[in-house]
Amino acid sequence: MNPVGQASWPFRFCRFLLALLREIADEGAYGRHLSALGREHSREEWRRFSERRLLAKYARPKCC
Amino acid sequence: MKVLGHLLWAAIAVLAAFCLAGIAINHGEPVNSMWMVVGAACTYAVGYRFYAKFIAARVMFLNDKRATPAERLRDGLDFEPTNKWIAFGHHFAAIAGPGPLVGPVLAAQFGYLPGTLWIIIGAVLGGAVQDFVILFASVRRDGKSLGQMAREEIGKVGGFTAMLTVLLIMTILLAVIALVVVNALKGSPWGTFTIAATMPIALFMGVYLRYWRPGKVLECSAIGFALVVLSIFGGQWVAASPAWASAFSLGAMALALSVVVYGFCASVLPVWLFLAPRDYLSTFVKLGVVVALAVGILFVRPELQLPAFTRFVDGSGPVFAGKIFPFCFITIACGAVSGFHSLISSGTTPKLIAKESHIFPIGYGAMLMESFVAVMAMIAACVLQPGVYFAVNSPAGVVGATPAAAAATISGWGFPVTAADMATLARNVGEQTLFYRTGGAPSLALGMAAIFARGGGGQAVLGFWYHFAIMFEALFILTIIAAGTRVGRFMLTDLLVHMKVGPAKPNRGIAWVIGTTLVIIAAWGYFLVQGVRDPLGGINSLWPLFGISNQLLAALALCVATTILLKMHGPKYMWITCVPLTWLATATFTASYQKIFSPLPALGFLAQARQLELGPQSPTTQELIFNARLDAAVCGLLALLVAVILVDSLRVWYGLLRGTRDTRVSEAPFVPSRLQPEEV
């Protein structure tokens, strides 16, 4: 962090990269799912989330 | 300041023209790839800044005060306002498949120039416009799919035809990309072991994610990647061991059957166990390799060895038959204009768009990035010596069945190569032979390995990088096969329900799942086996079929887009989508006609069947004759389906222009956005 409290660009870039990777990995969506329903992370919750998520994801064609 | 800005953009435009003219005019001496990179980047910048901005401002009236479906229908799962650049990354990861990598490599048989110009100009004026307009249309219609929009904007015929076209395209796509993998792995124990190892790795990842560390996808993918890299080293050891090498040296037919069995198992296994972890891994590897290739090209700045034009512009090419027009524009679909992108632009992405202004960089910008990937693939192919390029990509049926005969034929074309050179190169990359490796993947891997090895390590690491590139290509192609077979099953079910065949209930039981999967597998498996048995290597017939089908889907998407623009503005801006539509329809219908009716047996399916009928007859010949006629029928059916959509669209446009049809657009009503800046 610089003196005025703004994150430096390499830090912001890394944060963006991590957010992008988390989004592609569905971890971002899982976090939103937990906060939207006010639930805690658990094996069963992940299973519920990923089953619904993957069912929709693999019903759509993948690009060539 | 404004004058300075104008001067800067003028300089960028001049630089783009200078670089493109440089690669076009500079004949006879090797051209540095940076001319291509800079020319492409500057053209994209100008297209993005002026053309796309014009469409966004004057045609679409993108309005950030209007709530997007991500905000209005927010469910935290599919519909979720997402940061612009994260949605961009998501969209790019979804549209970037093997097409932009393989197509340019195959089209390099014409030389580097025709394909490169088509990739750059086609993307700026056609592909990116298609993705942009379809994404915009879907966002304004609650994230509706292309098929739904075709039904609403054009009519029921368009909707049903779209459904059938997509299923046919999926079948051809799966067959052709499976053939690319088969040709890359045949007789390669190193490559086959590495790819075989990715199966237990994916199963391990599935169990890890489900039971040991649920939700830790990034961590699990990192472990999976480390294991895959280890398997590349393991493959080297396998190739060096006579006993293990023979166990993993499979012929083309054995590999094709293995891919068919894989496709069945992977698409019926629970998604969490195999497909999903494999997909996560392949997406990360794909993005990583694309970035690494870009860095490698910028760092190494290799010279292009292939000429601007080769003698094969006349249509006599060994990789595939046909002249530059229309076949260059069919061979390179993804990377310039890809109909498949319209399914993504009307699928996941519109549900993530937080603000309408984000449609601009995501819809238009991501396609430019994909086009840049295609330019990099073209560079990777063109850094190979032309003799090596043709030795790898030409089938035995064209160049001769022995290395010496093939080398003599290729040298006779003016591209010197010797069997000894090829044997040395094969040894350096840990392969037994590199002749007859049609399909584009091995030559792309050779080019990538040459670039990476020049970045550090030299000859010592050539084998590793070659097999790393093969692993990367095969990993995500096989993932697409698994996912595509599964999706094909759903599409077939939808189609049958639409035709009132089969039970309409959502849960149809395991017999239905297995039955529909077998139908899909049988469909693409048949074309795959046909490609393996084809004396001309399979790619010659299957890749143009795939290109034609993909461009026909683009024509469908552009018909929908034109109808929407016509309803919004009358005829004023319909040229934006009509120009690429006219070009694509002309190129694709010409290619379809030539593939069916050309009197040249290497090009026309029916001429090929007639020639086979005149020769000695055997069960194999009978099968080849049947296959040639089947390919002609499939090609004709695809062309007919899109002709139906075109005629239907023309009927609608005529009505709109005459004022006899309702011009109301079926957009969702305006709802003011209440999204706070910190929410995105």
Chain B from 199 to 218: CB within 8 A of any A CB:
209-211, 214-218
Reduced to 3 states, what is the DSSP secondary structure of residue B47? helix
Count how many domains chain A has: 1
B residues 277..336 contacting A (CB < 8 A): 280, 283-284, 287, 333-334
The alpha-carbon gap from B124 to the nearest alpha carbon of chain A, in Å, equals: 19
The DSSP code sequence of B365-432 is: IHHHHHHHHHHHHHHHHHTS-HHHHHHHHS-HHHH-SSHHHHHHHHHHTT----HHHHHHHHHHTT-S
Give B516's contacts (C-beta < 8 A, 6+ positions apart): B489, B492, B493
- A25 in a structural domain: yes
The pLDDT assigned to B28 comes to: 72
Q: What is the pLDDT of residue B216?
A: 96
ω into residue B189 within 30 of 0, thus cis? no
Chain B residues in contact with A23 by the CB 8 A cut-off are: 82, 86, 89-90
Residue B460, φ and ψ in degrees, nearest 5 = -60, -30
> How confident is the model at residue B503, as a pLDDT?
66
Q: How far is B343 from chain A (nearest CA, A)?
A: 7
ipTM over 0.85: yes
Taking CB atoms and an 8 Å cutoff, what residues of chain A touch B83?
Answer: 16, 19
> pLDDT band for position A27 (50/70/90)?
very high
CATH superfamily of B31-188+249-658: Amino acid/polyamine transporter I (1.20.1740.10)
User: For residue B480, what is the nearest residue in chain A, using CA coordinates?
Assistant: A62
Residues in A closer than 8 angstroms to B93, CB to CB, are 24
Give the sign of the dihedral formed by CA B126, CA B129, CA B134, CA B137. negative
The answer to whether residue A3 is domain-embedded is no
Confirm if B175 and B662 have CB atoms less than 8 A apart.
Answer: no
In a domain, A36, yes or no: yes
Please report the number of interchain residue pairs, chain A to chain B, with beta-carbon separation below 8 angstroms: 122
CB burial class (10 A; 0-12, 13-18, 19+) of residue B495?
Answer: middle
**Angle between helical axes of A43-57 and B275-300 (0-180°, round to 10):** 70
Report yes or no on A33 lying in a domain. yes
Contacts of B174 (CB under 8 A, 6+ apart): B263, B480, B481, B484, B485, B488, B524, B528
Query: Under an 8 A CB cutoff, do A52 and B77 touch?
Result: yes
In angstroms, rounded to a whole number, what is the distance separating the alpha carbons of residues B524 and B487? 13
Closest residue in chain A to residue B219, using alpha carbons only: A25
What DSSP string describes B194-252? Answer: HHHHHHHHHHHHHHIIIIISTT-HHHHHHHHHHHHHHHHHHHHHHHHSHHHHHHT---H
CA B627 from centre of chain:
24
pLDDT value for B507 = 62
Asked whether the beta carbons of residue B340 and residue A20 sit closer than 8 angstroms, the reply is no
A43/B211 CB distance under 8 A:
yes
Cα(B648)–Cα(B483) distance, integer angstroms: 32
Residue B472 phi/psi, 5° resolution? -60, -45
Supply the pLDDT for residue B159. 74
Residue B455: predicted pLDDT: 86
Determine the residue of chain A that is closest to B550 in CA distance.
Answer: A64
Residue A42 DSSP SS3: coil
Residue B185 identity: L
The structure's pTM equals: 0.94
Look at residue A32 and tell me if it is in a domain. yes
CB contact under 8 A, A61 and B340: yes
Q: How far is B420 from chain A (nearest CA, A)?
A: 36
- Domain ranges for chain B, please list them: 31-188+249-658
Both tokens assigned to B471: 């692993």
Distance between alpha carbon A46 and the CA centroid of its chain, in Å?
Answer: 13
Task: Report yes or no on A1 lying in a domain.
Answer: no
Please tell me whether residue B304 adopts helix, strand or coil conformation. strand
Is residue A26 included in any domain, yes or no? yes
Any CB–CB contact under 8 A between B148 and chain A?
A: no
Q: What single string gives the DSSP state of each residue in B170-205?
A: HHHHHHHHHHHHHHHHTT-HHHHHHHHHHHHHHHHH
B603: which residues sit within 8 A by CB, 6+ positions away? B315, B321, B322, B594, B595
DSSP 8-state assignment for residue B51: I
Return d(Cα B439, Cα B458) in angstroms, integer: 26
Structure-token pair, residue B238 = 């396998």
Nearest residue, CB atoms, A60 vs list B83, B348, B546: B348
With a cut of 70, which residues of chain B have pLDDT below it?
27, 502-508, 680
pLDDT for the residue numbered A6? 67
Which residues in chain B have their CB less than 8 angstroms from residue A33's CB? 76-77
| Chain A touched by B605 (CB under 8 Å) | no
For the cut 50, the answer to whether the pLDDT of residue A2 exceeds it is no
Does the pLDDT at position A1 exceed 50? no
Of B221, B287, B487, the CB nearest to A61: B487
Determine how many CB atoms are found less than 10 A away from the CB of residue B96.
25
Partners of A19 on chain B (C-beta within 8 Å) are 83, 86
Domain extent, residue A32, equals 9-57
Question: Which of A22, A50, A64 best tests the B interface by mutation, with the highest count of B CBs <10 A?
Answer: A64
Mutate to test the interface with A, among B168, B180, B210, B217 (most CBs of A within 10 A): B217
Q: Which of B211, B271, B273, B281 is best to mutate for the A interface (most A CBs within 10 A)? A: B271
Residues belonging to chain A with any Cβ–Cβ distance to chain B shorter than 8 Å: 16, 19-30, 32-33, 35-37, 41-43, 46-47, 50-64
Amino acid symbol at B664: R
The better pLDDT of the pair A56, B569 is held by B569
Distances (CA, A) of B17 to B13, B21, B24, B153, B363: 6, 6, 10, 39, 25
pLDDT score at B505:
64
